[in-house]
Amino acid sequence: MSLILQIVFLLGDLVFLGLIFLLIKRDRLSVRFGMLWLIFGGVWLVFAAVPWLLKVLRGFFRFQVVSNLVFTMLLAFVLLVLLTLSVAASLAARRMRQLAQSNALLEERVRRLEQQLKPGCGPDGDA
């Protein structure tokens, strides 16, 4: 890796990490989900700072070229992010369902009580 490319990668990664920090700070991204991106940024910062590590990993996993290793790692990370988002979406859907049901149950109770409080209405809401 040329020195210029290494500097571009380092700066790009630092900008990326800064963006994640900023999003967490402004409450646009929760720490829970931001953590995965921070770990990703941290790992790539290490690889950008010490590219020799990629060559060691390439040899260890017997990849023909470093770029194959990098793309495989990126794909694995993207799949991990997608899986995490699917889990989060499923949990959010379940919570939303419980919340909507609770809201409807409370609304029905309020409606029934309001009906009972109307002048001329009996305890069962009958006129």
Partner 1 sequence: MRDNTVKTLVIIPCYNEEENILAVVRRLQDTCPEADYLVVNDCSTDRSREILSAAGCRYLDLPVNLGIGGAVQSGYRYAMENGYDVTVQMDGDGQHDPAYLAAVVAPVADGTLDMAIGSRFITHEGFQTSFMRRLGINFLSGLIRLLTGCRVRDVTSGYRACNKAMTAYFARHYAEDYPEPEAIICALTEGFKVGEVPVVMQERQGGVSSIRALSSVYYMVKVSLSLVIYRLSRSRKGGKR
At CB < 8 A and 24+ separation, what contacts does 15-18 make? 16/41, 16/44, 17/41, 17/42, 17/45
What lies within 8 Å, CB to CB, of 51 at 6+ separation is 1, 6
Is 114 a binding residue for partner 1 by CB under 8 A? The answer is no
Which stretch in 27-35, 63-71, 80-88, 104-112 sits in contact with partner 1 by CB under 8 A?
104-112
Instruction: Look at residues 72, 109, 89 and name the one whose alpha carbon lies nearest to residue 33.
Output: 89
Is 82 a binding residue for partner 1 by CB under 8 A? The answer is no
Q: How far is the CB of 104 from partner 1 (least distance, A)?
A: 4
Contact 54, 70 (CB under 8 A): yes
Q: How far is the CB of 78 from partner 1 (least distance, A)?
A: 24
Is 74 a binding residue for partner 1 by CB under 8 A? The answer is no
Q: How far is the CB of 89 from partner 1 (least distance, A)?
A: 13
Is 107 a binding residue for partner 1 by CB under 8 A? The answer is yes
Interacting residues toward partner 1 by CB under 8 A: 93, 96-97, 100-101, 103-105, 107-108
